[in-house]
Amino acid sequence: MVVLLVGVAKGGFAGGVGSLSVPILALVIDPRIAAAIMLPIICVMDLFAVHSYRGEYHRANLRILIPAGLVGVFLGAITFQLMNVAMIKLIIGVIAIHFVINYFYNQRKQTAPVSRPVNTISGSVWGTIAGFTSCVAHAGGPPLSVYLLPQHLDKRVFAGTMVLFFIVINYSKLLPYYSLGLLQFSQLKISLILLPMAPIGVWLGSWLTRRVEQTVFYRISYIFLFMVGIKLLFDACTSWF
């Protein structure tokens, strides 16, 4: 079920919900083991997702986001053993919840959404955060959504931009995970067992993205981002009590 959920997110539908994979698996196993199991599956999903969205992405955003994301992965890799995952989840959860509440509050005050332009500084900051949180907890979706959603891109372009960003980020995480001893044969065996669900989830996410109307697509994305924020906040609090 977790793999199918992530596949739907990789297919471009409610991308932030993919951040739930590690928290859900962490209910039964160590979060770092959960991250190691999911990484090979996510990398395979990325290949199917890129095929589904070939030619549909925002080039100007990616020119800013990908270099920043790689910096974030590097920072995550060198601090991985020192990081308090609960604190990261708390910060990302609070950001996601505040962002969604602010969006719906503003919707009550204006009839038409105001689109934000591509911004180098903002893109660099959120891209770095997305790369960092993706490296330590596979939770890069919410920070990237915080940057991209206000631009009101075409739903397919939005999804394709997310997909291309994360295929670069996720494959760049393979070496750090291997060097940290996280990609053990025991984890890879579990990944292989779960792998058949990957293309099904990606296909379902792409199918839903094509058929859901643009306004509804964005509302669903914001709602799922809020749900992810609540889940991350809950996980962070329960780990301390």
> Which of the pair, 10 or 134, is modelled with greater confidence?
134
11-20 pLDDT, tens digit each: 666 555 555 5
What is the model's pTM? 0.77
d(Cα 172, Cα 127) in Å, to the nearest integer?
Answer: 14
Cβ neighbours for 31, distance < 8 A, ≥ 6 positions apart: 22, 23, 25, 85, 137
**Residue 232 contacts residue 90 (beta carbons within 8 Å):** yes
Cβ neighbours, 10 Å, residue 61: 24
Q: Residue 56: how many CA atoms within 13 Å on its side-chain side?
A: 21
d(Cα 76, Cα 36) in Å, to the nearest integer?
Answer: 14
Q: Where are the domains of the chain?
A: 2-240
pLDDT beyond 60 at 68:
yes
DSSP annotation of 55 reads: T
pLDDT band with cut points at 50, 70 and 90 for residue 63: very high
**Nearest of 139, 196, 137, 141 to residue 165 by alpha carbon:** 141
Cβ neighbours for 146, distance < 8 A, ≥ 6 positions apart: 95, 96, 99, 126
Q: Give the end-to-end CA distance of the chain in Å, rounded to a whole number.
A: 28
186-229 pLDDT, tens digit each: 778 878 887 787 777 777 777 777 787 767 777 777 787 788 77
Secondary structure class of 191 (helix, strand, coil): helix
Q: How far is CA 109 from CA 113, 114, 165, 167, in A?
A: 10, 12, 33, 37
103-127 pLDDT, tens digit each: 777 666 654 555 778 899 999 999 9
The pLDDT value given to residue 24: 56
The pLDDT value given to residue 209: 75
Q: How far is CA 199 from CA 10, 41, 51, 105, 196, in A?
A: 10, 10, 11, 37, 7
**In this predicted structure, which of 67-71, 72-76, 103-107, 116-120 has the lowest mean pLDDT?**
103-107
- Transcribe 156-188 into DSSP letters: HHHHHHHHHHHHHHHHHTHHHHHHTT---HHHH
Cβ neighbours, 10 Å, residue 93: 23
14-44 pLDDT, tens digit each: 555 555 555 555 555 566 677 788 888 888 8
